[in-house]
Structure 1
Amino acid sequence: MENNLFLDAAFSKATERPPVWMMRQAGRFMPEYWEIKNKYSFLEMCKIPEVAADVTMLPVDLLGIDAAILFSDILVTGEAMGGDLSFTQGVGPKFANPVRTQKDIDALATDVLDKLQYVADAIKVIQQRLNGRIPLIGFAGAPFTVMSYLVEGGSSKDFKLTKLLIHNHPELAHQLLSKIAKVTVDYLNMQIDAGVNALQLFDSWALALSWNDYQEFSHQYNAQIIAGLNRKNIPVISFCKGSSVFAPIMAQAKPDVISVDWNADLLNIKKALPEGIAVQGNLDPHILYADKPVIKAQIHKLFERMRGEKGFIFNLGHGIMPDIPFDHVKYAVDVIKEFKY
């Protein structure tokens, strides 16, 4: 690998500067993304390996980041299991056949790798294009988050149906979560076999849960997944909205890196974690709307706070919003790459 900064930081080795990549770095804030999006549906972009590779490479070529992340979606596992998935502009993902009963859960398949082969094919194309320049991150949605989409039938503001399921019918929730966890282990190991250099587990909606419910309905399944990975030399990043609260529990699952939202002081989180767990984050993505001197000052403030710490990967506390100006994102990456400890 020509650029090992990301992998070194993920394994808590010293680096001359923090490596940078950003969640949703290949996305709607890029005009070049829309040139591709206007030719294909979102699922076609995920499922045609050459197109997924084209989108994955956009931030590599245009931003100069230190790690690429596979262009895909956290819900492809739910679709492979039997969910009738569609994406509508302005609405987001929808499952036309929500999962809410024993019969619905029984109908979900778990031996589904053949339906996800397009992801392995995309990884191989991307690695040919990267040609050892920077690492490639693969990913999957965590069971609780995937379950919430399956149960709600799409995005939700209050997760009412999901919470009714876990509270009124916890045995059904655990059956569903167990099925998703099995698929997720198989899927991530397939990505390792296809050639990814790192993995991230996205538990995007964990913040909907109380402390006790997070332990029962999220953490234990994330821990099962991480334990089931063939992760030799493959760092595993654990991300959730709510990591500023749940980081102590997340650490028990033994990820290599915890990705932290912007609600916490990153150094305080790092100091509270066991030795050898790196942190990723945690700039508020809204700062990228601000004037460039503000962006630079905020990045430097974070870097000075983390000075002397091994195991720090720069990222945002969540994904880039679609209307953030591209040149602000590029400027932020340039500021980071010019920084030296």
Structure 2
Amino acid sequence: MNDRRLLRVLQGERVDTVPVWMMRQAGRHLPEYRETRAKARDFLDFCYTPALAAEATLQPVRRYGMDGAILFADILLILDAMGRNVRFLEGEGPRVDPATKASDLSKVPMEKILAHLAPVGETVERVRASLDNSTTLIGFAGSPWTVGVYAIEGRGGTDKADSRLFGYQHPEDLDGMLDQLVEASAHYLKMQ
């Protein structure tokens, strides 16, 4: 029998208790997270080190008894795997060198992208091996448009005007970039 309460609810079954998980449940509010985070060179190293990322995924489950373990990763790992210069600046958040011309968004072979993301797959394997039968692993990816905005504008939290202008001026390039992000995201989610 499937003891995973969260999956059972999503399949329309009645369960004894409402399943609980929270967006961003791993993070700085946990002292054990801060201790684990300190072992990585930077945030990308943290995401790409399976032992550390798995530990960050499991910490809120152990502490709070969550029904879902949210994979510790970031939506911008796909851009990093595509060769974009992704970095996370203290106090400023994620930054990506913006695409200033169509050739900045050239197609990267899917095999290269998936090879770069392989540590995330290893994190998934580690987490699955550590979870009991009552906890569901939740993977995720950013929407292609959201990730595309980072590629074009270099950051999030904007009014997307530069991305819309890029799309009007270079519709084929935007379509090509979004197509590649859709394909990469589908493979990435399948890996999870």
Q: What residue in structure 1 maps to residue 163 of structure 2?
A: 162
Q: What residue in structure 2 maps to residue 66 of structure 1?
A: 67
Q: What residue in structure 2 maps to residue 251 of structure 1?
A: none
Does the CA-based 8 Å contact 2:87-2:96 persist in structure 1?
yes
Determine if the alignment matches structure 1 residue 118 to structure 2 residue 119. Answer: yes
TM-score by length of 1: 0.53
Number of residue-to-residue matches in the alignment? 190
Q: What residue in structure 2 maps to residue 185 of structure 1?
A: 186
CA distance, structure 1, for counterparts of residue 26 and residue 141 of structure 2: 16
Q: What residue in structure 2 maps to residue 196 of structure 1?
A: none
Does the CA-based 8 Å contact 1:82-1:109 persist in structure 2?
no
Structure 1, residues 261-299: CA drift from partner, whole Å, max 9, x if none? xxxxxxxxxxxxxxxxxxxxxxxxxxxxxxxxxxxxxxx
Q: What residue in structure 2 maps to residue 147 of structure 1?
A: 148
Q: What residue in structure 2 maps to residue 76 of structure 1?
A: 77
SS in 2 for 1:139: coil
What displacement does 1:129 show? 1.4
Do the aligned partners of residues 19 and 162 (structure 1) sit closer, same or farther apart at CA in structure 2, a change above 3 Å counting? Answer: same
Q: What residue in structure 1 maps to residue 29 of structure 2?
A: 29
CA distance, structure 1, for counterparts of residue 107 and residue 20 of structure 2: 42
CA distance, structure 1, for counterparts of residue 149 and residue 71 of structure 2: 23
CA distance, structure 2, for counterparts of residue 11 and residue 49 of structure 1: 30
Counterpart mapping for 1:187-266 below 5 A? 187-191=188-192
CA distance, structure 1, for counterparts of residue 6 and residue 132 of structure 2: 16
Structure 1, residues 65-111: CA drift from partner, whole Å, max 9, x if none? 11101101011011101111111111111113x22422112254433
Q: Which runs of 5+ in 1 are unaligned?
A: 192-341
Report runs of 4+ in structure 1 exceeding 4 Å deviation: none
Select the structure that is richer in strand: 1
CA distance, structure 1, for counterparts of residue 93 and residue 109 of structure 2: 24
What displacement does 1:22 show? 0.3
What displacement does 1:35 show? 1.4
TM-score by length of 2: 0.91
What displacement does 1:15 show? 2.3
What displacement does 1:132 show? 2.9
Structure 1, residues 134-174: CA drift from partner, whole Å, max 9, x if none? 11111111100110111111223322211212233332211
Q: What residue in structure 1 maps to residue 46 of structure 2?
A: 45
CA distance, structure 2, for counterparts of residue 15 and residue 168 of structure 1: 52
Do the aligned partners of residues 51 and 138 (structure 1) sit closer, same or farther apart at CA in structure 2, a change above 3 Å counting? Answer: same
SS in 1 for 2:177: helix
Determine if the alignment matches structure 1 residue 135 to structure 2 residue 118. Answer: no
Does the CA-based 8 Å contact 1:19-1:66 persist in structure 2?
yes
Q: 1:20 is matched by which residue type in structure 2?
A: V
Determine if the alignment matches structure 1 residue 9 to structure 2 residue 12. Answer: no
Q: What residue in structure 1 maps to residue 95 of structure 2?
A: 94
15-24 or 69-78, which deviates more = 15-24
Does the CA-based 8 Å contact 1:2-1:134 persist in structure 2?
no
Q: 2:150 is matched by which residue type in structure 1?
A: Y
Do the aligned partners of residues 176 and 100 (structure 1) sit closer, same or farther apart at CA in structure 2, a change above 3 Å counting? Answer: farther
Q: Which runs of 5+ in 2 are unaligned?
A: none
User: Which structure has the larger Rg over C-alpha atoms?
Assistant: 1
CA distance, structure 1, for counterparts of residue 82 and residue 56 of structure 2: 25
Do the aligned partners of residues 109 and 149 (structure 1) sit closer, same or farther apart at CA in structure 2, a change above 3 Å counting? Answer: farther
Do the aligned partners of residues 157 and 89 (structure 1) sit closer, same or farther apart at CA in structure 2, a change above 3 Å counting? Answer: same
What displacement does 1:133 show? 3.6
CA distance, structure 2, for counterparts of residue 132 and residue 13 of structure 1: 17
Do the aligned partners of residues 153 and 92 (structure 1) sit closer, same or farther apart at CA in structure 2, a change above 3 Å counting? Answer: same
